[in-house]
Amino acid sequence: MRQRFCQRAVKSISPAGCFTILSAVAKAERDRICERVAQVKQDQKGRGRYLGGKVPFGYRVADDGALVSDDAQQDAIQVAHRMRAEGATMRAMLAALAKNGHHLSLGAVHRVLHDTPGTTE
């Protein structure tokens, strides 16, 4: 009895209806994947792990995946802040950093000055 009902139900679904059902299942699966990815990212962020992208100047990725300070680059950031406080131009800061082996673009120097935590600029 149950088998006959299932056979009739399957036969009564049109191809368009079948596509609609499969589309709904695919959307539900995409939603589940998005939720799992978001949970993993939140967990990794909570553990202090670096989630990807270009590593910001002044930091490096440790063996455990955490973002840690790079002492040489942090010193260069401090030099740039001191030069800025003394009224140096961005190009002068860029040249001073390049002289010490830190080859950055003007945009990168700007980000270093404005995105460094604990600064007021």
Render pLDDT for 57-73 as a digit per residue (tens, 0 to 9): 888 888 888 888 899 99
* Confidence band for 45, pLDDT divided at 50, 70 and 90: confident
Render pLDDT for 4-25 as a digit per residue (tens, 0 to 9): 545 555 566 777 777 888 899 9
HEC readout, the chain: CHHHHHHHHHHHCCHHHHHHHHHHHHHHHHHHHHHHHHHHHHHHHHCCECCCCCCCCCEEECCCCEEEECHHHHHHHHHHHHHHHCCCCHHHHHHHHHHCCCCCCHHHHHHHHHHCCCCCC
Per-residue confidence (pLDDT) for residue 10, from 0 to 100? 57
Q: Is 85:119 a contact under the CB 8 Å cutoff?
A: no
Q: Note the pTM of the prediction, 2 decimals.
A: 0.57
* Confidence band for 52, pLDDT divided at 50, 70 and 90: confident
- Dihedral of alpha carbons 107, 112, 115, 119, sign: negative
Per-residue confidence (pLDDT) for residue 38, from 0 to 100? 93
